[in-house]
Amino acid sequence: MTGNIKVLFIGDIVGRPGRNAVKHYLDALHSCEEQKYDFVIANVENASHGFGLTEKNHNELASYGIDCFTSGNHIWDKKDIYAYINNSDRLIRPMNYPKGTYGVGYRIFDVKNTKIAVMSMLGRTFMNPVDSPWEIIENEIEKIKAQAPIVIIDFHAEATAEKICFAKFCSEYKVSAVFGTHTHVQTADEKIINDYTAYITDAGFCGAYDSVIGMGYEGSLKRLKTSIPERFDVDENSVLEFNAVSIGFDAVSGQAQSIERIKLIKDYSEVKE
C-alpha cells in the first residue's frame, strides 16, 4: 500500500448531453495510457432528464467506467430509484438523511491495495431540512478513517460560505477531500486546506454548454420572469461542457498531494453516437 492514488471527480451530470460529455471524455482517457485514473467518481442526481437517476442510466454510466456515484437532493425524483438503490454497489445517497432512508450514505472501495471511502452529504443553508453534517463528521469520521485512509466527501450544498467552512472543519478531522456540488457552476478556488484536504467550492457540471446550468433557456426565462412554475427541459445543444477535478492522494496517509480543475468545451455535432 504505497504510492499515489489518482482520482477523477466529475461534476453534476445533467441529462443526456451530460452523459454524452462524460462518455466522450472517458472514452478518450481509455485510449491514453498516461491519463488513466485509478478511481472515478461522478455526481449523478441530475443524470436522467435533469432530475434523478433511472436504473437504465445508472447502468449506462457504470458501463463508461465510473466507479462511484454520489448524489444530492434530487436523487429521489425518479421513482424507480427505490427499486434498485439498495442493490447498487456504487450509488450513494446523502448520508444525512434520517436513519431508515433507502440506500447508504457512504461506501468503501478497494483501489490498488488501499481503501477509499466516499461519502455524500447535503448542506442545510437554503436547502430542505436534513440531519447535521457537522455532527456526522464528529461522530462517524473516526470509524470511517479506521477503515480507509482516503476519505472523499461530495458536499452537495447551495451556500458558498457553508461549503468553505465545512471543508475547513473536515480538514481538522483529516478528511482527504471535500468537493462541492449542486450549483453546476465550476469555481476557480481549488486548493489544499491545512496541507491535507483537497477542496473546490463547486466541481461544476457536465451538459449543454449554451444552457442555464444544463436546462433550456426559454423555460428558465419564463419561470424566472413570471414566478409561475414551468417545466424545465434539458438543453440538447451539441456543444457540450465537461467539468471535473483531478486529484492525487498519498495511498498510506490519505493526504491530498495535488488538485487540478478540468474544463472542456467541445462541439460534438459531427460525432456519431
| Active-site residue list | 74
Cβ-contact 264, 234 below 8 angstroms = no
CA dihedral angle for residue 208, residue 181, residue 256, residue 188, rounded to 10 degrees: 60
C-alpha cell at 106: 457512504
Using a 10 angstrom Cβ sphere, with 0-12 exposed, 13-18 middle and 19 or more buried, the burial of residue 21 is buried
Q: Look at phi and psi of residue 69 and say left if phi exceeds 0, alpha if psi is from -120 to 50, else beta.
A: beta
**Where do the DSSP E strands lie in 157-255?**
177-181, 191-193, 197-200, 205-208, 239-250
Helix-, strand-, coil-residue percentages of the chain, each rounded to 5:
25, 30, 45
Task: Find how far residue 153's CA is from the centre of its chain.
Answer: 9
